[in-house]
């Protein structure tokens, strides 16, 4: 239980890179949702073409962020499972 914590994660370079990847994924998720909100703003002013383009862009950003989060969490679980356990 002593190897679980922020200090241990940052000392392990594999886990530190995975945490950075996960944070970037979460930021992309937020940006994607913000672009979706912008597309609804376009729909309020009846700019349908702009709303469609913004929705597509938001979809790609959101899916990219979701993929980064999924991969980072799975890799972090794999690294944690692979680490030698004392005791």
Give per-10-residue mean pLDDT for the chain (87 aa).
58 70 94 95 93 96 95 83 61
Q: How far apart are CA 8 and CA 79, in angstroms?
A: 12
Write down the pTM of the prediction: 0.74
The pLDDT score that the predictor gives to residue 75 is 85
How far, rounded to the nearest angstrom, does the alpha carbon of residue 16 sit from its chain's CA centroid? 15
End-to-end Cα separation, the chain, in angstroms = 10
Per the CB < 8 A criterion, the answer to whether 76 and 26 are in contact is: no
Per DSSP, the chain holds a count of helices (H) and strands (E) of 3, 0
């Amino acid at each position: 239980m002593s190897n679980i914590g922020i200090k241990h994660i940052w000392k392990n370079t594999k886990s530190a890179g995975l945490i950075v990847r996960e944070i970037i994924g979460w930021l992309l998720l937020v940006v994607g949702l913000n672009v979706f909100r912008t597309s609804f703003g376009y729909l309020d002013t009846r700019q349908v073409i702009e709303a469609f383009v913004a929705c597509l862009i938001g979809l790609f950003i959101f899916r990219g962020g979701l993929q980064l989060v999924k991969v980072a969490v799975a890799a972090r679980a794999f690294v944690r499972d692979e680490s030698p356990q004392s005791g």
